[in-house]
Amino acid sequence: MEPTKKPLLYGYFRSSCTWRVRIALAFKGIEYDQQAINLVKDGGLQLSDEYKQVNPMQQVPALHIDGVTLSQSLAIIEYLEETRPNPPLFPREPKKRAQVRMISDQIASGIQPLQNLCVLQKIGETKQEWAKHFITRGFQALEKMLQITSGSYCVGDEVTVADLCLVPQVANAVRFKVDLSPYPTIVRINESLLQMEAFQVSHPSRQPDTPEELRA
Contacts with a copy of itself, residue ranges (CB under 8 A): 55-59, 66, 68, 70-76, 78-79, 82-83, 94-95, 97-99, 101-102, 104-106, 108-110, 112-114, 118-119, 122, 130, 133-134, 137-138, 140-142, 144-145
CB atoms within 10 A of CB 88: 15
Least distance to a copy of itself, CB of residue 177, Å: 19
CB nearer to a copy of itself: pick between 32 and 79? 79
Give the DSSP letter of residue 7: P
CB nearer to a copy of itself: pick between 123 and 187? 123
CB nearer to a copy of itself: pick between 144 and 215? 144
Cis peptide before 61 (omega within 30 of 0): yes
Least distance to a copy of itself, CB of residue 75, Å: 4
10, amino acid identity = Y
Least distance to a copy of itself, CB of residue 152, Å: 21
User: Whole-angstrom Cα distance, residue 99 to residue 30?
Assistant: 26
CB nearer to a copy of itself: pick between 1 and 216? 1
User: Whole-angstrom Cα distance, residue 26 to residue 53?
Assistant: 26
Least distance to a copy of itself, CB of residue 120, Å: 12
User: Whole-angstrom Cα distance, residue 63 to residue 13?
Assistant: 15
Query: How far, in whole angstroms, is CA 147 from its chain's centroid?
Result: 22
